Chain A
Amino acid sequence: MAEKIEIDPITRIEGHLAVSVEVEEGRVARAFCKGEMFRGFELILKGRDPLDAQQITQRICGVCPVSHGMASVLAQEQAYGITPNENGRLVRNLILGANYLQSHIIHFYHLSAVDFIDLEAIAQYQGKDAALNEFKAWVGTQKASSVVAPGAPFLPRYAGDYLDGTDANITAIKHYLEGLRMRALAHQMAALFAGKLPHVASLVPGGVTERVTTQKIAAYGAMLQELRSFINRSYLPDVMSVAAGFPSYFKLGKGCGNFLAYGAFAESADNSRKYLPAGVVIGGRLAEFDPRQITEDVKYSYYQSASGLAPAAGQTVPRPGKPDAYTWLKAPRYKGMAMEVGPLSRILIAYLSGTDPEVRQAVDHGLNQLNRSTEDLDSAMGRHAARAIECKLVADQCARWLDQLKPGEPACVDFTIPRSGQGVGLCEAPRGALGHWLAIDDYKIASYQCVVPTTWNCSPKDDQGHPGPVEQALIGTPIANAAQPIEAARVVRSFDPCLACAVH
């Protein structure tokens, strides 16, 4: 007899997700991801000026706006027949890269780590660090106070098996607090060229509106140095210590086993070469990515539009309350198969493609330290490890791209918008493959469809009844206490879900 558990809402992710699991003999037998919020961006975009798109689509998500802006300008550039110049390409990489750093840091420390590290350990702190002592004193005051939830938003929490050892926990708590400043610093670094964050101002078809100056290069470099130090000395070691403390999570949360990346960080003006390459891995074998193989099913989604459409012909006709449907997410499939997207996919594809020895080196080094193989990466803990490794790699590349900037030279090319045209913008958000499909008619947007990372990962069953990647990853997860299903929450969060993105 299956026991049904609703985790609703899943907090510490972006947006509105509920997960429903059915437990048999202590393990998840079936799982359902429910995206609970819909705005209708694709309908709102219709009939608007194409240049509105890179601003409007950024508002799909406040955590990864840069990626939506990028996908939109890439789609428009294809439609307008232009490519950015060198400075434009590099500055975009620097803005996108900076947002990867802020997103990966916030995901580990502020969204996920509190499922593993023991916040209560602060009560045992005996040292002299001012920030830790303030936190300790504050927790004490809160517990003696009359507020409804003392210690919120850090407490209360699920009962569970948290990390052993006061020192490791105290270190992680200190880095949680430092991480707050670090992720803001990454946004500040991006804003040098982006104008502001979240929701950047400077991204336009043809490049960026901001100019490249020596002062900006120096400022970005100084902030990047601080961030690289934090990533190398805090983030990576903390992921290692959580991984060492929770070896079972290298066996839990194994996904659908198929991986997809569109690739990101242009290394050539036409975006044909990317630092993180495009590719697919099916059955452990790397293959070339073919965008024509993408379709979206809606049998279990709240839409009455036709199922199985390619994004370029996609439709979004809402039908709340549709029988059998359980989510606002569509179900994207590649050659009819569920695909996992995200840092794990990107790192695996970069590793297997073997084009960059530094990627191989970083991954092998990480796996050696963890005493793990590449197969172990397909797991809840593997996703955290892959994300941290990617964070380091992208930070290193930002230093290289920064060196290539030419102060005083333009970062933008001019363009004309044709009466009609089409374009596809393929990019990678911090949490996975992101595509925008644009059609222009009479100078207006005729069609705009977005297939977003969490649309892939948190997708519902497809028309054939095959569950989505997170749903598959949950199957087999042991649940010790049905009232406090921390194991399932850990598996879901390892994907870094972003629901505002996924539904849009």
Chain B
Amino acid sequence: MFSMTRRQFMTYSARLAAMTGLGASAVPKIGLALQSLASGQAPLVWLQGQSCSGCSVSLLNAAHPDPASILMRYISLQFHGTLSTATGDLGMAVLNANIKQGNYLLAVEGSVPAAMPEACVIGAEPYNKLLLRAASAAQAVVAVGACAGFGGIPGAENNPTGALSVKEFLNKNQVGKPIIVLPGCPVHPDWLVGTLVHVLKFGVPSLNADGAPLMFYERLVHDQCPRFSDYEREHFARFFSDEGCLFKLGCLGPVTHADCPKRLWNSGTNFCINAGAPCIGCSAKTFAQKASLPFFRKVEQIKDKAAGA
């Protein structure tokens, strides 16, 4: 790829665009992405709305490539509120110059306070406006994590800000951009880095109906669970730290699509169910949305017990 002629390069890009269903109009843009990748300079702008920065911290837990390699070999991280040395007006100048030039990848962390624009302000501008400006000029948008992906906890029942996912908000405002959704609370660094590299090298990966890459979110947690045999034998954990399938403690593995049981977290160290904790469904669209679907089932058991006694 590094020694391609321009002609070969455009042919290659066209093939990729066809493969990923983006059509001919997308070719020049992806071509630009490939060129900038070849020089390690694919510009990426990272915005944070109603976020906890947990997805940013998770990105820093990337192992191979590690964060320094990502910054020096894959992307040119033009702006990131938690990492950029540039602060205040200087930071805004970098951000605005990028928006003016366009053609970057936009990564968005956090939900959008659609019904209360005052609930998120950056550089004296309501975040909602800034996001529309930044998304309009972007090649593509990556909605990182549960909040950007599906609204997450800021978008849960009883929330006061009318928080929306990035896709819902952009659709509502007629900003049509290719959007990749990477749910999870936080996002797994492999899901994010793997997707970015795929977009830059091969275009948009195959996505499920919600816009999440199938290569990470195709299968149910339950189907890959190390305690699946306990489930089949109806050997259920009765209390926290007990052995057995965690289903009766509220495990949401049966309704959650992610590859955590195979991929594991923190450089292959562990994951929720291995640590005896029921899956709380953090990559599911329903994550934390309703009080009527709690993470754990302890209280119901007690009430059942009381009702039966």
Given A156-B94, A199-B186, do A7 and B116 touch, yes or no (CB 8 Å)?
A: no
Enumerate chain B residues within 8 angstroms of A273, measured Cβ to Cβ: none
Chain A residue at smallest Cβ distance from B264:
A196
**Is the CB of B22 closer than 8 A to any CB of chain A?**
no
State which of A48, A192, A483 has its C-beta within 8 Å of the C-beta of B269: A192
Report A-chain residues with C-beta under 8 Å of the C-beta of B89: 6, 8, 483
Complex contact A318–B160 (CB within 8 A) = yes
Our pick among B77, B120, B276 for the contact of A16 (Cβ within 8 Å) is B120
**A416 CB contacts on chain B under 8 angstroms:** 302
Question: CA–CA, A36 to B116, complex, Å?
Answer: 12
Chain B interface residue count, Cβ-Cβ cutoff 8 angstroms: 93
Of residues 50 through 66 on chain B, the ones whose CB sits less than 8 Å from some CB of chain A are 50-58, 60-63, 66
Is the Cβ of A207 less than 8 Å from the Cβ of B241?
A: yes
* Contact of A201 with B275 at beta-carbon distance under 8 Å, contacts A39-B163, A412-B241 already known: yes
In chain B, what residue has the closest Cβ to A138?
B72
- A201 near B52: Cβ-Cβ < 8 Å: no
* B157 x A44 contact (CB < 8 A): yes
- Known contacts A61-B53, A62-B186, A196-B271; A51/B39 CB under 8 A: no
B277 touches A209 (CB 8 A): yes
- A114 pairs with B53, CB closer than 8 A: no
Verify if A484 is at the interface (C-beta below 8 Å from B): yes
A443 within 8 Å of B (CB atoms) = yes
- Give chain B nearest CB distance to A242 CB in angstroms: 16
Is A284 at the interface (CB under 8 A from chain B)? no
B98's closest neighbor in chain A, by CB?
A: A148
Are A9 and B277 touching (Cβ within 8 A)?
no
Chain-A contact segment, one of B175-183, B216-224, B226-234, B291-299:
B291-299
Query: Is the Cβ of A155 less than 8 Å from the Cβ of B85?
Result: yes
Q: Do residues A148 and B43 form an inter-chain contact, with CB atoms below 8 A?
A: yes
Q: Contact: A193 with B275, CB < 8 Å? A: yes
Q: Which of B12-20, B121-129, B193-201 participates in binding chain A? A: B121-129
* Inter-chain contacts of A328 with B (CB < 8 A): 119
A44, B83: Cα distance in complex, Å: 29
Complex CA distance for A152 and B83, rounded to whole angstroms: 9
The interface residues of chain A lying within 8 Å CB-to-CB of B87 are 7, 9-12, 158, 489
Question: Which of A60, A180, A417 is most buried by chain B, counting CB atoms within 10 A of its CB?
Answer: A180
Q: Mark A393-420, 1 if CB is under 8 A from B, else 0.
A: 0000000000000000011101011000
- CB of B84 within 8 A of chain A? yes
Asked whether B215 is an interface residue with its Cβ less than 8 Å from the other chain, the reply is: no
Within B108-158, the residues touching A (CB, 8 Å) are 113, 116, 118-124, 127, 152-154, 156-158
Q: Are A153 and B123 in contact (CB under 8 A)?
A: no
Q: Is A142 an interface residue (CB 8 A)?
A: yes
Query: Is B274 engaged at the interface, CB distance under 8 Å to the other chain?
Result: yes
Chain A positions within 8 Å of B62 at CB level: 184
Query: In the bound complex, do residue A500 and residue B266 qualify as a contact, i.e. CB atoms below 8 Å apart?
Result: no
With A39-B161, A194-B275, A489-B87 known, 16 other A-B pairs at CB within 8 A are A7-B88, A9-B92, A11-B82, A11-B88, A60-B52, A135-B68, A155-B86, A180-B68, A184-B60, A188-B61, A188-B269, A195-B274, A198-B54, A204-B277, A206-B240, A444-B291
